[in-house]
Amino acid sequence: MIVVTTEHIAGYKQTASLGMVRGSSMRARHVGRDIMAALRMFVGGEVREYSKLLGESREQAADRMIEEAQAMGADAIVGVRFQTSMVMQGAAEMLCYGTAVKIETSF
């Protein structure tokens, strides 16, 4: 599955647009991570606990989007974007979306 943020894929011709696909992941903070993050805020630098949490959320959301596209028979997903929103205090949703397309080589 080719997944790109651009609207077109170099070397390929889009033959059909199958529609929007999306995947999401909802994550809540963990008390243990919050304690470590709070300690890091005093010292400064990257808050690795939250970076890891967000990275895992992005991967899971992208995987779910790809699964949806595969179920539609897509060859690729174009125009991929990520968005996050806070749902409640301490919990956020990571959303990944794009357009599922059929493609063929253009040479």
Q: How do residues 15-24 score in pLDDT, each as one tens digit?
A: 999 999 999 9
* 2-28+56-105 maps to CATH 3.30.110.70: yes
Q: Is the model's pLDDT at 38 over the cut of 90?
A: no
Q: Rounded to an integer, what distance in angstroms lies between the CA atom of residue 38 and that of residue 71?
A: 42
For residues 62-84, give the mean pLDDT: 97
CB atoms within 10 A of CB 18: 16
More confident residue, 51 or 71: 71
**Would you say 9 and 1 are in contact if contact means Cβ atoms under 8 Å apart?**
no
Pick from 2, 11, 14, 15: which is nearest to 69 by CA? 2
Q: Is the model's pLDDT at 96 over the cut of 80?
A: yes
**Would you say 55 and 87 are in contact if contact means Cβ atoms under 8 Å apart?**
no
- Token digits for 13? 């011709």
Q: Is the model's pLDDT at 12 over the cut of 90?
A: yes
Q: What is the pLDDT of residue 83?
A: 93
Q: Is the model's pLDDT at 86 over the cut of 60?
A: yes
More confident residue, 38 or 61: 61
